[in-house]
Structure 1
Amino acid sequence: MDRLKAARQALALVALLGGALPAGAQSDSLGKALDAAQQTQRAAVASQQRVDQLDDQTRALLERYRAATWQSQQLNVYAQQLNELLAQQVTEIQSLRTQLADLDRAGEDLMPLMLRMTDSLAQFVALDLPFLGDERRERLANLKQALGDPQVNAGEKFRRILEAYQVEIDYGRALGVERVEIGQETVDMLRVGRVALYALAPDGSRPRIWNAAAKQWDALPRGEAAAIREGLKMARELTAANLLQLPVPAARSAP
């Protein structure tokens, strides 16, 4: 701005001096003065442009500095949050280690109980009605294997025992059907909870009932075949559940 002002003053001075010189001298002096004034003005304009450019650069750097400062503050807050989270996780890990140690000690205390429960379940299956033999024996074998596996923790072992007990409980609440061999004959066997087992030949003939006391199949009157067929349909969910009228085996006396 000072250079522009000086250029304007120089032009005014040239105009004043021009009136005091002869005509020829006035023309030469005026031309030189005008050239000098124009150069001064151009220099002033160029200088002002540089100043403006420096101002723009300064503002840009200031904005970048402010953005960097804000980002640094946000990173500091984030780092603080991470440190707090890390401290919480360290505390939780220590707590879990303590719980695992307690669980291992509890597992050692529970092992005799779990072994007794497994043996009791095996005895129950052996004395129960003969159905789903392969499936139930395999479940017991897997359970015993898990009890002897050091890689399986105590909680998982106990869960599997309870699961095996629950499966056995569920058998007593529903109808079941499977194809079995009686002697040389393949038959369809109907299980009514744990109350009784009935068998029927594939052609719907030769109805039978399991005699638990004698551990053998006893023949039933042919008239019972219809009820057994209906029960087989219910067990296979081919028809809606309904009342079944079937003979019930006599209760066994206590030994």
Structure 2
Amino acid sequence: MKCVKPLLLATAIATTFAAGANELNTVIDKSSAINESASKSQAKIDSITDSMQSRLNKFKTLNKEIDGLTVYNAQLTKQINNQIEEMAAINASMDQVSVIERQITPLMLRMITGLEQFVALDVPFLPKERAERLDSLKKLMERADVTSSEKFRRVLEAYQVEMDYGRTIEAYTSLLPVNGQEREVDFLRIGRLELLYVTKDGSHAGSWDADKKQFVELPESNISQINKGLRIARKQLAPDMLTLPVHAAE
């Protein structure tokens, strides 16, 4: 009977130890499960964090693009408003085109007539060239394939050519009746101040008399000065003083 108690005690201890071991295994298993679950949760958290960071970066990028587009749209709005104003101005100008064209054509015709009268009263240098220029302007005015702006430009160009004659010196060759005989002569034009000539053989010289409206013969003493002037005009001689008679037009 005395041997039974230790046996029972050992059995009880073994049973208790086995139960504790089972509970420990259970705790360890649960702890492992918890760790695994925590690891999965952390992975999910990391994935969510990465996703949120990526979306945040995209959000910041989009905000920058929106700011840029806002500035760009504001600039475009200004440009569009300016273009609208310009179109309105162009439309208003187009409405006046026909009116302006009706006014500019008579003006050009009057300018050509005035230029023709001026040439007729002027010193008679380069008569053929100046007459052809006037004739060209008259024919130009009749053409429908030339714009009014081009016609006006050509008229102003003709006026400019005539103005330039007044401040230049020129030498040219042409035919002129001398003592009842048509002869080839060298003309010397000094602005509009004087128009002189000398025959090719140097035997006769003359100048335009504005009062008499004809060429008058000059003494032979003027021939050398006229020849000198011709050489200056042709750039064969440096500019120098000339002693010549003057018959200026009023």
Q: Same fold (TM over 0.5)?
A: yes
Q: Could you tell me which of 174, 177, 180 is aligned with 2:174?
A: 180
- Structure 1 residue ranges without an equivalent (≥5): 1-19
Q: How does 1:125-140 map to 2 (within 5 A)?
A: 125-126=119-120, 128-140=122-134
Percent identical: 28
Larger Rg: 2
The aligned counterpart of 1:164 is 158
> Which of the residues 78, 98, 101 maps onto 2:98?
101
Which residue number corresponds to residue 231 of structure 1? 229
Show the counterpart of 1:60.
57
Counterpart position of 2:3 = none
SS at match of 1:191: strand
1:29-44 to 2 correspondences below 5 Å: 32=29, 35-36=32-33, 38-44=35-41
* TM-score scaled by length of structure 2: 0.67
Per-residue deviation, 1:147: 2.4
Alignment match, 1:84: 81
Number of positions where the alignment pairs a residue of Structure 1 with one of Structure 2: 226
Q: Do the aligned residues in 2 keep the contact of 1:199 with 1:209 (CA within 8 Å)?
A: yes
Partner Cα separation in structure 1 for residue 31 and residue 215 of structure 2: 136
Amino acid at match of 2:245: P
Q: Which residue of structure 1 aligns with residue 143 of structure 2?
A: 149
- For 1:131, the aligned partner's letter is F
CA distance in 2, matches of 1:85, 1:53: 48
Partner of 2:196: 197
Q: Please report the TM-score for the alignment, with normalisation by the length of structure 1.
A: 0.66
State the Cα deviation string for residues 116-172 of structure 1 (Å, max 9, x = none).
543453354356444323421221122112322345565664554454344324323
State the distance in 2 between where 1:65 and 1:158 align: 58
Q: Matched residues in 1 for 2:223 and 2:164: separation?
A: 26
Which ranges of structure 2 fall in alignment gaps of 5 or more residues?
A: 1-15
Comparing 45-54 with 210-219, greater Cα deviation is found at 210-219
Structure-1 separation of matches of 2:117 and 2:93: 38
Distance 2:197 2:115 in 1: 24
